[in-house]
Amino acid sequence: MPGEPSYTFRSKFVDPDFRNDPKTKVFCFVCQKDIRTAVPFMGHAVFGCIEVVHPEDRAVADRELAPADNVGLLPVGRDCAKRIGLEWFVRPEKEEAK
């Protein structure tokens, strides 16, 4: 049936603000502000960074989403993570080169 695909992963609208212009490569994907300290949280961004996938459902999202919709893990600032809810984010992995 054509129309909206039905996804089974949990996601949440992050109410992004794209008016900021990041000065560095490391910035919060929600408010676009540069993160000048160690990255506090990572969120699995989807649909052009307007929603975040629940950490427990990341594998489901990877399976169900078209690559163009599946942005992947991006840095998130502490304030935005708190506003949206810390349960939607993960700590950055220190050992990514596994």
By CB under 5 A, is residue 80 in contact with Zn ion? yes
Cα dihedral 73, 68, 17, 22 sign? positive
Residues 53, 50: Cα–Cα separation, whole Å: 10
Q: How far is the CB of 93 from Zn ion (least distance, A)?
A: 20
By CB under 5 A, is residue 81 in contact with Zn ion? no
By CB under 5 A, is residue 52 in contact with Zn ion? no
Query: Among candidates 9, 98, 85, which has minimal Cα distance to 47?
Result: 9
By CB under 5 A, is residue 31 in contact with Zn ion? yes
- Residues in contact with Zn ion by the rule CB under 5 A: 28, 30-31, 77, 80
